[in-house]
C-alpha cells in the first residue's frame, strides 16, 4: 500500500530537522544534541509506523511543531484529519526507551484494570498511553474540563488541543489568575467529579493544569488510578494537599484539607 503523501511530508519534515553535524558553537551543539536525543527516542521505526496510522485513520492530516518536550513524552501540534472537527489536534508521543519504569509501575501495578505486563519497557509505555486514553475518556464522562481523547495507538495519543485563540494554553504555574478562589473551586470540583466516577488523577499540580479562557483544564492523566488501587486514597490526599498548598503560597488563599477531602469523597 503506498504511503499517503501527507505522511511522507511529515517524515521529510522530521528528517529535515536532523541538521548537519559541522562544528557548531557550544550552545548550538547542545541544542542539536538535545534534538537528536528527542528524535532518536521518539521516532523509532515502530513509532513511525504508528504515526502513519494517524494519517490513514484520518485523525491528522499533517504533523506540525513541538509544543512541549517532557522527560517521558513529546507533545506535537497537528492539523486535523477528516474525522476530527477541530482546528488542531495534539499528538503526545511517549518515549519507548525512557527512565521512569519504576515510577510507572507504581501506578499500573495495583490498578485492577491492568494485569501482569509482559515484554519490558515497550509494553509498559503502551499500557501507560492506553491508560491515559482510558482515563481521559472517564474524565469526559465525568464532565470534567480535560482534553477530549481522539485516538491512541501504541505509544501515541491524539487528543483535543487546549488553546487560547490557536496558542497553546499556559499552565497554572505560568498564569496570573484574576479570580484564584473561583479557579481553586473549579479544580476541587473536577477532583470531586473524577472521584464520583471512580478516578483519582494522582498528579494534580500547577504543571498539569492549563488555563483556557480562564477555565482550568486538567491534563496528563497517565498516572490516574481507579479507586480499587491500594494507594488511591493516598494519591487523592496528596493531590488535594498539593493544589491547596500552591494556592496558599501564591495567592494566600487558605482552605482546610480535611474538609475539602470530606467534600470530595462525600
Ligand X SMILES: Nc1ncnc2c1ncn2[C@@H]1O[C@H](COP(=O)(O)OP(=O)(O)OP(=O)(O)O)[C@@H](O)[C@H]1O
Q: Which of 124, 220, 221, 239 binds Mg ion (CB under 5 A)?
A: 220
Distances (CA, A) of 32 to 23, 63, 134: 11, 20, 35
Residue nearest to ligand X (CB): 70
Q: How does DSSP classify residue 174?
A: G
Asked whether 248 and 254 are in contact (CB, 8 A), the reply is yes
Residue of 111, 163, 220, 239 with catalytic role: 220
Distance separating alpha carbons of residues 19 and 249, to the nearest angstrom: 44
- Cell numbers linked to 231: 494507594
- Measured between alpha carbons, how far is 251 from 185 in angstroms, rounded to an integer? 14
CA distance 149 to 157: 8
Q: Which is nearer to ligand X, 59 or 169 (CB)?
A: 169
Binding partner of 189, given ligand X, Mg ion, none, CB within 5-8 angstroms per partner class: none
Query: Is residue 74 part of the contact set for Mg ion (CB under 5 A)?
Result: no
- Is 163 a residue of the active site? no
- Least Å distance, CB 91 to ligand X, is 10
Q: Which residues on adjacent β-strands are paired with residue 163?
A: 168
Q: Which among 74, 111, 163, 203 is annotated as catalytic?
A: 203
**Distance (Å, whole) CA 203 – CA 172:** 14
Nearest distance from C-beta of residue 71 to Mg ion, angstroms: 9
Q: Which residue is nearest to Mg ion (CB)?
A: 220
- Least separation in angstroms between residue 250's CB and ligand X is 18
Residue 174 is among the residues annotated as catalytic for this protein? no
Q: Taking CB within 5 to 8 Å according to partner kind, which of ligand X, Mg ion, none is near residue 90?
A: ligand X
Residues that bind ligand X (CB under 6 A): 67-68, 70-73, 75, 90, 92, 147, 159-162, 168-169, 171, 207-208, 210, 219-220
Cβ pair 83, 58 in contact under 8 A:
yes
CB of 262 to ligand X, least distance (A): 29
Report the interface residues with Mg ion, using CB under 5 A: 208, 220
Q: Report, as residue numbers or ranges, the catalytic residues.
A: 203, 220
Amino acid at each position: 500500500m503506498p504511503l499517503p503523501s501527507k505522511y511522507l511530508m511529515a517524515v521529510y519534515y522530521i528528517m529535515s530537522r536532523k541538521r548537519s553535524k559541522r562544528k557548531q558553537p557550544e550552545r548550538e551543539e547542545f541544542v542539536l544534541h538535545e534534538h537528536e536525543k528527542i528524535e532518536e527516542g521518539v521516532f523509532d521505526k515502530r513509532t513511525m509506523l504508528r504515526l502513519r496510522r494517524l494519517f490513514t485513520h484520518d485523525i491528522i492530516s499533517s504533523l506540525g511543531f513541538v509544543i512541549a518536550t517532557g522527560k517521558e513524552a513529546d507533545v506535537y501540534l497537528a492539523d486535523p484529519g477528516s474525522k476530527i472537527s477541530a482546528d488542531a489536534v495534539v499528538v503526545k508521543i511517549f518515549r519507548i526507551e525512557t527512565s521512569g519504569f519504576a515510577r510507572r509501575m507504581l501506578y499500573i501495578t495495583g490498578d485492577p484494570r491492568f494485569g501482569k505486563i509482559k515484554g519490558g519497557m515497550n509494553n509498559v509505555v503502551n499500557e501507560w498511553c492506553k491508560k491515559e486514553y482510558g482515563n481521559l475518556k472517564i474524565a469526559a464522562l465525568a464532565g470534567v474540563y480535560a482534553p477530549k481523547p481522539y485516538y491512541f495507538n501504541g505509544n501515541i495519543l491524539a487528543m483535543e488541543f487546549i488553546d487560547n485563540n490557536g496558542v497553546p494554553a499556559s499552565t497554572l504555574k505560568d498564569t496570573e489568575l484574576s479570580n484564584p478562589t473561583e479557579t481553586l473551586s473549579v479544580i476541587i470540583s473536577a477532583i470531586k467529579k473524577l472521584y464520583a466516577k471512580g478516578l483519582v488523577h494522582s498528579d494534580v499540580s500547577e504543571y498539569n493544569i492549563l488555563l483556557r479562557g480562564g477555565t482550568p483544564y486538567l491534563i496528563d492523566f497517565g498516572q490516574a488510578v481507579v479507586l480499587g488501587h491500594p494507594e488511591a486514597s493516598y494519591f487523592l490526599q496528596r493531590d488535594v494537599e498539593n493544589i491547596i498548598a500552591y494556592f496558599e503560597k501564591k495567592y494566600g488563599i487558605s482552605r482546610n484539607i480535611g474538609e475539602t477531602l470530606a467534600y470530595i469523597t462525600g
